[in-house]
Structure formats: C-alpha cells, structure tokens
Amino acid sequence: MPLPRTGSIVVLTGAGISAESGLATFRGAGGLWEGHRAEEVATPEAFARDPALVHRFYNMRRRQLADPAIQPNAAHRALARLARAWRGGCLLVTQNVDDLHERAGSHDVVHLHGELRRVRCTACSEERLWLRDLEAKTPCPACGTFGGLRPAIVWFGEMPLHMERITAALQSCALFLAIGTSGLVYPAAGFVALVRDRGRAHTIELNLEPSAVRSDFAEARHGPAGTTVPALVDELLAL
C-alpha cells in the first residue's frame, strides 16, 4: 500500500524516540528496568509497600528530564512539523512520560502512560505540575494529606489514559506509524492490529530493530528515529 496523500495520521511513539536525546529506553542494554524489576517500582503494590523506593526512581528520572543536556531530537521536531503541515489531521499518542514532544513544538500530545512532570493526590485526586523531588512525607498542597502524592503515571495493572479518543482515531486513520517502541506492552502494542484489521490504512514501523509485532505492519523502516522519522516526514509532505 502506498503512502496516503490524504486522510488522518495516528503516530504512536515509545522510549526509542527519546533515546537519541539521552533518555534510557526500558528494555535495551542499560535500560531503565535493568537492575529493577518493573514490579518493584512501577505498580500500585510497590508504591503501597515501599513509597520511598518508588519516589527515588521517579525523582531520578524527573531530575534527568530537567537536565539542560536533555533536548528534543530531530525525530520529535519532524513530528511537530508533520502535525503543522499535514492536511488531514494528525494525532500524536505517546507512551513516553517525558515532555520532549511538547518541547519540540507538538501541541495536544496524548500521553497514554501519564506524565513525569505531574503528580496526583490519591486522597483528593487533584493533579498538578510538579518539578521538584517528591518524598513519602510530602503533603498534598490541595488537601494537606501526607503520603498521598504519587507520580501521575500509569503503572502496571492500571488503566491507560485517553483510550476512547485513541481508539476512535485508529478506526478512521489512513496511516498509522509506530516509532521507537518494542511492541511488548499492551494496549499500545495492539494498535497496529486494530488498524490492519480494518484493511484501509497503511501501517509503518520505525524502530531500531524489528519489534515484537513487526509482522502486523505492512512496512518497516529500521534505523535510528533521528534519521528515519525526518526522512518519512519529508516524503509525506512532498506527496
């Protein structure tokens, strides 16, 4: 199936798009889960058992994101350019909790797994921007409860966010792109099958290597996202 000239695009991104910006992926060598099992730090049970450990893990990542050396790369910028210039509408869905898409100029980024720079109070449900370290004893600024604040991130066993909007976009798109994601974590890994089964849209995987769901895509381009994504965006905008 050729690249579509019209119609809407859904782009799904994962940790691989931020790798060239200096943020570790989850499963590669030196990946974030190395040394920690995901269940130790990324589940509601882990937070109930050892909130200090969970906060340390996310404090480290929040600080890293604030490091001036961490900047959006050519792939983030190319996707912002695509959304601005594409005629048919373009929805950017990310599994990433970083804010590099926003910093590259993308508006209305759908964060399926939440955001590192936000916290939520488990007592009063208030959510807010939070750029400092968080500790087990930090009181909620809204309700004053101690120990209720948690990263506004979707942990294993919790419901991913914005699924209705994403599913509707997948059901009507003409092109689905998955960039820098291993295809191991659902529901995101199942998006391509949903689009493929409709039989009316082109699907492309852009990843360093074949993902676990490579065979569900009509096309794959393997290489670093900082190179493959700007090249594809150039192609689309030249159609």
Q: Does 190 bind ligand OAD (CB under 6 A)?
A: no
Select from 8, 10, 11, 14 the one that contacts ligand OAD (CB under 6 A).
14
Total chain residues near ligand OAD (CB under 6 A): 26
From the centroid of its chain, how far is CA 172? 21
Interface with ligand OAD, residue 230, by CB under 6 A:
no
CB of 217 to ligand OAD, least distance (A): 13
Active site residue 36: no
Q: 3-class DSSP state for residue 11?
A: strand
Stretch that binds ligand OAD, among 9-17, 101-109, 163-171, 191-199 (CB under 6 A): 9-17
Using CB under 6 A, which residues numbered 29 to 68 contact ligand OAD? 31, 38, 42
Spatial distance between the Cα atoms of 109 and 66, rounded to a whole number of angstroms: 19
Cβ-proximal residues to 143 (8 Å cutoff; 6+ apart), any chain: 121, 123, 124, 126
Please list the alpha-helical segments (H only) found in the chain: 16-19, 38-41, 44-49, 51-66, 74-85, 100-103, 163-172, 191-198, 225-238
Backbone region of residue 30 per phi and psi (left: phi > 0; alpha: psi in -120 to 50; beta: other values) = left
14 or 148: CB nearest ligand OAD: 14
In the bound state with ligand OAD, the residue whose beta carbon lies nearer, of 148 and 183, is 183
Sign of the Cα torsion 28, 109, 155, 41 reads positive
Indicate which residue of 111, 113, 162, 202 is catalytic. Answer: 113
Task: Report the nearest approach of ligand OAD to the CB of residue 15 (Å).
Answer: 4
Q: Which of positions 67-96 make contact with ligand OAD (CB under 6 A)? A: 95
Separation between Cα atoms, residue 46 and residue 123, nearest integer Å: 18
Provide the binding-site residues for ligand OAD, judged by CB under 6 A.
14-16, 19-20, 25-28, 31, 38, 42, 95, 113, 154, 180-182, 184-185, 207-209, 211, 224-225
